[in-house]
């Protein structure tokens, strides 16, 4: 149960960071204020969430092998 909830949370967080990247890129193209900030916040949050997800999946794989 806990793994299923964590999967949903991670999916939402990664999708939100991807949406921030997309919105930031569109804001930059349109020369709206703070487009660069939104874009880079999305990039960094995606990096952090993806790194956490990879380490979490490695633990799940290690548990399933033993």
For residue range 1-48, list pLDDT tens digits in order. Answer: 688 898 899 999 999 999 999 999 999 999 999 999 999 999 999 999
The pLDDT score that the predictor gives to residue 1 is 64
Q: Say whether pTM exceeds 0.75.
A: yes
Q: Is 30 helix (H, G, I), strand (E, B) or coil?
A: coil
The pLDDT score that the predictor gives to residue 2 is 86
Nearest to 7 by CA among 56, 45, 51, 55: 56
Residue 26 tokens, joined = 């569109």
What is the mean pLDDT of the segment spanning 47-59?
94
The pLDDT score that the predictor gives to residue 3 is 83
């Amino acid at each position: 149960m806990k793994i299923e909830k964590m999967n949903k949370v991670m999916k939402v967080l990664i999708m939100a960071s991807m949406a921030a990247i997309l919105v930031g890129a569109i804001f930059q193209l349109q020369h709206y204020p703070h487009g660069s900030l939104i874009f880079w916040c999305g990039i960094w949050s995606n990096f952090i969430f993806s790194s956490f997800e990879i380490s979490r999946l490695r633990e799940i794989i290690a548990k399933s092998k033993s």
